Structure 1
Amino acid sequence: MRTADIRSRFLDYFAARGHTMVPSAPLPTPDPTLLFVNAGMVPFKPYLTGEQEAPWPRATSVQKCVRTLDIEEVGKTTRHGSFFQMNGNFSLGDYFKHEAIAYAWDLSTTAQADGGYGLDPDRIWVTVHHSDDESRSIWREVADLPDERIVARGDEDNFWSMGVPGPCGPCSELYYDRGPALGREGGPAVDEDRYMEFWNLVFMQYERGEGPGKSGYPILGELPRRNIDTGMGLERMATLLQGVDNLYEIDETRPILDRAADLAAVRYGADPQADVRLRVVADHVRTALMLLADGTSPGNEGRGYVLRRILRRAVRSMRQLGHQEPVLGELLAVARDCMAPSYPEVADAYARIADQAQGEEDAFRATLKQGTTVLDTAVTQAKQEGGRTLPGAQAFLLHDTYGFPIDLTLEMAAEQGIEVDRDGFTALMNDQRERARADARARKSGGTTDTTALRALLDAHGPTDWQAWTALTTESSVLGILGTAGPVPVAREGEIVTIVLDRSPFYAESGGQDSDAGRLSTANAEAEVLDVQRPLPGLIAHQVRVTAGELSPDDRVIAAVDPEWRLGARQAHSGTHVLHAALRETLGPTALQSGSYNRPGHLRLDFPWRGALSPTVRSEIEEAANRALRKDLPVGVRWMTLPEAKEIGALALFDETYGEKVRVVEIGGAWSRELCGGTHVEHASQIGTVALTGESSVGAGMRRLEAAVGIEGFNYLARERDLVTALAAQVGAPRAELPEKIAALLDRLKTTDRENARLKAQATTARARELTGTATDVNGVQVVTTTVEGDAEEARALATAVRDLLPAAAPGTVAVATAKGIAVVALNQAARERGLDASALIKALLDGRGGGSAELAQGGGLPADRVTGTLASLPRLITTGH
Structure 2
Amino acid sequence: MHLAEISKRALHFFESRDHTVVPSAPLIADDPTLLLINAGMAPFKRYFLGEATAPFPRATSVQKCVRTVDIEEVGKTSRHGSFFQMFGNFSFGDYFKERAIPLAWEFMTTPTTDGGLGLAEDRLWVTVYQDDPEAEHIWRKLVGVPASRIQRLGMADNFWSMGVPGPCGPCSEICYDRGPEFGQDGGPAANDERYLEIWNLVFMQNTRGEGPAKEGYPILGGLPARNIDTGFGVERMAALLQDVPTIFDIDTTRQILALAAELSGTTYGKSVNTDVSLRVVADHILASTMLIGDGVTPANEGRGYVLRRILRRAVRMMRLLGTDDPVVGELFTKTIDVMGSTYAELIEDRARIHSLGEAEEGAFAKTLKAGTAIFDVAASKAAESRILPGDKAFQLHDTYGFPIDLTVEMAADAGLSVDREGFALRMQEQRARAKADARRRKSGGRGDIDVYRELLAAAPTEFTGYTELESQARVQGVIRDGERVSSASAGEIVEVVLDRTPLYAEGGGQESDAGRITADDVELEVLDVEKIDRKLWVHRVRVVAGEIAEGRNVVARVDSEWRTGARQAHSATHIVHAALRQILGPTALQSGSLNRPGYLRLDFAWQRPLSSETLSEIEEVANRAVRQDFPVGIEYMPLPHARELGALALFGETYDEDVRVVEIGGDWSRELCGGTHVERTAQVGALTFIGESSVGSGLRRLEAHVGLDALRFLASERAMAVKVADLLHVPTAEISDRVSGIIDELRTARKELDTLRAEQRAHLATVLAGHAVTVNGVRVVAEQVAGPSATTELRDLAVQTKAVLEGSPAVVVLAALGSDRPIVVAAVNQQARRLDVAASELVQAAVGALGGRGGGKRDLAQGGGGDARAIPAALESVLAMVARAATQ
TM (norm. structure 1) is 0.89
Going from structure 1 to structure 2, the CA distance change for 1:316 and 1:786 (only over 3 Å counts) comes to: closer
Residue number among 499, 511, 526 corresponding to 1:529 in the alignment: 526
Matched, 1:85 2:72: no
Per the alignment, residue 634 of structure 2 pairs with: 637
Cα shift at 1:592: 1.7
Q: Distance in 1 between matches of 2:840 and 2:189?
A: 65
C-alpha change, 1:580 and 1:410, in structure 2 (3 Å) is: farther
Report the AA paired with residue 369 of structure 1: K
Preserved CA contact (<8 Å) 2:477 2:484:
yes
| Alignment-derived partner of residue 578 in structure 1 | 575
Per-residue deviation, residues 295-314 of structure 1 (Å, max 9, x unmatched): 11111111011111111222
Percent of residue pairs identical? 52
What do residues 321-377 of structure 1 show as CA deviations (whole Å, max 9, x unaligned)?
333432222222221111111111111112211221111122222222211221332
Distance 1:878 1:7, change over 3 A: closer
Letter in 1 for 2:698: G
> Offset of 1:71 from its aligned partner?
1.9
1:228 Cα deviation from its structure 2 partner: 3.1
Instruction: Show CA shifts across 1:161-210 (max 9, x none).
Output: 44455544444433333333333334333333333332333344455566
Q: Deviations over 1:735-765 (max 9, x none)?
A: 3333222222211221222223333434444
Distance 1:177 1:771, change over 3 A: closer
Task: Report the equivalent of 2:358.
Answer: 358
1:342 alignment partner, SS class:
coil
Structure 2: 5+ residue runs without aligned partners?
none
Query: Which residue of 1 is the match for residue 248 of structure 2?
Result: 248
Instruction: Tell me the residue number matched to 1:104.
Output: 104
Q: Which amino acid aligns with 2:561?
A: E
How many angstroms does 1:292 deviate by? 0.9
Contact 1:294/1:654 (<8 A) preserved:
yes
Q: CA deviation at 1:79?
A: 2.3
1:739 aligns to what?
A: 736
2:514 is aligned with 1:517: yes
Please show how residues 757-776 of structure 1 align to structure 2 within 5 Å: 757-766=754-763
Counterpart of 1:199, as a letter, is W
Distance, in Å, in 1 between the alignment partners of 2:728 and 2:122 is 92
Residues 17 and 435 of structure 1: is their aligned pair in 2 closer, same or farther, counting only changes over 3 Å? closer
Alignment of 1:362-761 (within 5 A): 362-384=362-384, 386=385, 388=387, 390-392=389-391, 394-405=392-403, 408-409=406-407, 412=410, 416-420=416-420, 421-426=422-427, 428-430=429-431, 432-433=433-434, 445=445, 449-452=446-449, 454-455=451-452, 457-458=454-455, 461-484=458-481, 486=483, 491=488, 495-524=492-521, 526-536=523-533, 538-548=535-545, 551=548, 556-761=553-758
Do the aligned partners of residues 110 and 687 (structure 1) sit closer, same or farther apart at CA in structure 2, a change above 3 Å counting? same
- Inter-partner Cα distance in structure 2 for 1:101 and 1:38: 24
In structure 1, C-alpha distance between the alignment counterparts of 2:158 and 2:830, rounded to whole Å: 75
Cα distance in 1 for residues equivalent to 2:367 and 2:677: 42
Asked if the contact 1:728–1:735 (Cα under 8 Å) also holds between the matched residues in 2, the reply is yes
* Cα distance in structure 2, aligned partners of 1:219 and 1:785: 77
Task: State the alpha-carbon separation in 1 of the partners of residues 568 and 206 from structure 2.
Answer: 49
1:189 counterpart residue number: 189
CA distance in 2: counterparts of 1:772 and 1:380, whole angstroms: 28
Cα displacement string for residues 58-85 of structure 1 (whole angstroms, at most 9, x for unaligned residues): 3222111112222222222222221111
1:223-302 map, 5 Å: 223-302=223-302
CA distance in 1, matches of 2:604, 2:459: 38
Residue 253 of structure 1: how far off its partner (Å): 0.7
1:605 maps to a residue whose letter is L
The 2-side partners of 1:338 and 1:736 are apart by 58
Q: What is the CA–CA distance in structure 2 between the aligned matches of 1:826 and 1:151, rounded to whole Å?
A: 73
Q: 1:329 corresponds to which letter in structure 2?
A: G
Note the C-alpha offset of 1:621.
Answer: 2.0
8 Å CA contact 2:491, 2:543 repeated in 1: yes
Q: Call closer, same or farther: CA 1:453–1:6 in 2, change over 3 Å.
A: closer
The CA distance in 1 between the partners of 2:750 and 2:839, in whole Å, is 32
The alpha-carbon distance between structure 1 residues 529 and 485, as it changes in their structure 2 partners (threshold 3 A), is same
In structure 1, give the amino acid aligned to 2:389.
Answer: L
Map residues 31-46 of structure 1 onto 2, 5 A cutoff: 31-46=31-46
Specify whether residues 435 and 92 from structure 1 end up closer, same or farther in structure 2 by C-alpha distance, changes over 3 A only: closer
Query: For 1:40-79, what aligned pairs fall within 5 Å after superposition?
Result: 40-79=40-79
What is the Cα deviation at residue 615 of structure 1?
A: 2.0
In structure 2, distance between residues paired with 1:778 and 1:157: 74
Q: Which amino acid aligns with 1:67?
A: R
Native 8 Å contact 1:46 1:537 kept in 2:
no
> Which one-letter code corresponds to 2:227 in the other structure?
N
| Structure 1 position 428, deviation (Å) | 4.4
Structure 1 CA distance, aligned partners of 2:203 and 2:318? 44
- The answer to whether the Cα contact below 8 Å between 1:788 and 1:794 also exists between their aligned partners in 2 is no
Contact 2:780–2:810 (CA<8 Å) still a contact in 1?
A: yes
Instruction: Write the distance in 2 (CA, Å) between the matches of 1:728 and 1:333.
Output: 54
Conserved 8 A contact 1:395-1:425: no
- Distance of 2:651 and 2:238 partners within structure 1: 28
CA–CA separation in structure 2 for the residues paired with 1:830 and 1:412:
28
C-alpha distance in structure 2 between counterparts of 1:129 and 1:876, whole Å: 76
- Normalized against structure 2, the TM-score is what? 0.89
Aligned equivalent of 2:319: 319
Moved more, 91-100 or 649-658: 91-100
Residues 798 and 817 in structure 1, CA contact (< 8 A), matched pair in contact too: no
Match of residue 785, structure 2, among 771, 784, 787 = 787
Whether the 8 Å contact between 1:515 and 1:533 is mirrored in structure 2 is: yes
Q: Which amino acid aligns with 2:434?
A: R
Cα distance between partner residues in 1 of 2:228 and 2:878? 84
Compared CA separation, residues 408 and 554, structure 1 to 2 (3 A): farther
SS in 2 for 1:620: helix
Asked if structure 1 preserves the Cα contact closer than 8 Å seen for 2:285 and 2:335, the reply is: yes
Query: How far 1:841 sits from its partner (Å)?
Result: 3.7
Question: In the alignment, is the contact (CA less than 8 A) between 1:477 and 1:554 conserved in 2?
Answer: yes
How far did residue 483 of structure 1 move?
A: 4.9
Q: Identify if the C-alpha distance between structure 1 residues 855 and 177 changes in structure 2 by more than 3 Å, giving closer, same or farther.
A: closer
Q: Is the 8 A contact 1:799 1:817 kept in 2?
A: no
Residue identity matched to 1:844: A
Uncovered stretches (5+) of structure 1, i.e. residues with no partner = none
Q: By how many angstroms is 1:681 displaced?
A: 2.3
Tell me, yes or no, if the aligned pair for 1:814 and 1:831 is still in contact at 8 Å. no
